[in-house]
Amino acid sequence: SQKIEQNSEALNIQEGKTATLTCNYTNYSPAYLQWYRQDPGRGPVFLLLIRENEKEKRKERLKVTFDTTLKQSLFHITASQPADSATYLCVRRDNYGQNFVFGPGTRLSVLP
Amino acid sequence: DAGVIQSPRHEVTEMGQEVTLRCKPISGHNSLFWYRQTMMRGLELLIYFNNNVPIDDSGMPEDRFSAKMPNASFSTLKIQPSEPRDSAVYFCASSLGDRGGFGQPQHFGDGTRLSIL
């Protein structure tokens, strides 16, 4: 079965620094990876999607990369702010919807 | 625009009782997903529908769980009989049609926190 691992359960960084979160997958590359943000007591909110044939995607202060050789996606938040504190989830999905798997999430805390 | 609406937000009931969770997807979305989230297992896909038809229910834990989507604007997840190990947060999400699997974002409700005593 396909698995998703996220590098750490929790990550603390200082405000203004770049946060880097890691998502590793097993077996073959998924058709795409999605990243979501989840705040306590709320449902996940979609942030970014990257396809297998894309190296990098950006949205404002967010950047995601996809390395099929390393079987890894990196999610970066530049100029981090305390409001970025949340749990970030990586999701893999293949074509036709199969193998839809969420990672365990990384809880990010941005300290003022 | 109204997002995905789930009810109830919280449910506490005794073991053995029937539990029904409800979901109203975003209008125009034709894919609907039910998830369960626990500390131990994270977020797990239980079942998803496309155009009101169940496509993949391989995540449904056992026969005590059932899900229906009688029309495009309503779905239920039922547990009968409920057990303490069913305690979790249950999320519903919807998206535009994704049979082609091209990564449409999912829009989640705020979940139902279920506690089975």
What is the model's pLDDT at position A95? 63
Nearest to B105 among A43, A49, A51 (CB): A49
| Nearest by Cα to B34 from B86, B76, B80, B62 | B76
pLDDT grade for B58, boundaries at 50, 70 and 90: confident
What is the model's pLDDT at position A30? 79
pLDDT of A99 strictly over 50: yes
What is the model's pLDDT at position B56? 84
Q: Which tokens belong to B34?
A: 């039910």
Q: Over range A8-21, report the average pLDDT.
A: 93
Least confident of A83-87, A100-104, B63-67: A100-104
Best mutation target, A4, A93, A94, to test chain B (most B CBs within 10 A): A93
Q: Is the model more confident about A97 or about B40?
A: B40
Q: Which tokens belong to B94?
A: 């919807």
What is the model's pLDDT at position B100? 46
pLDDT tens for B70-109 read 999 999 999 999 999 999 999 999 998 765 445 788 999 9
Residue with tokens 């893999």: A92
Alpha carbon distance A91, A5 (integer Å): 10
Q: Over range B33-54, report the average pLDDT.
A: 92
A95–B101: do the CB atoms touch at under 8 Å? Answer: yes
Least confident of A31-35, A96-100, B104-108: A96-100
- The SS3 assignment for A19 reads strand
pLDDT tens for A3-13 read 788 877 899 99
What is the model's pLDDT at position A32? 86
Alpha carbon distance A53, A34 (integer Å): 14
Alpha carbon distance A44, A52 (integer Å): 22
Instruction: Say if CB A22 and CB A7 are below 8 A apart.
Output: yes
pLDDT of A26 strictly over 60: yes
B101–A31: do the CB atoms touch at under 8 Å? Answer: yes
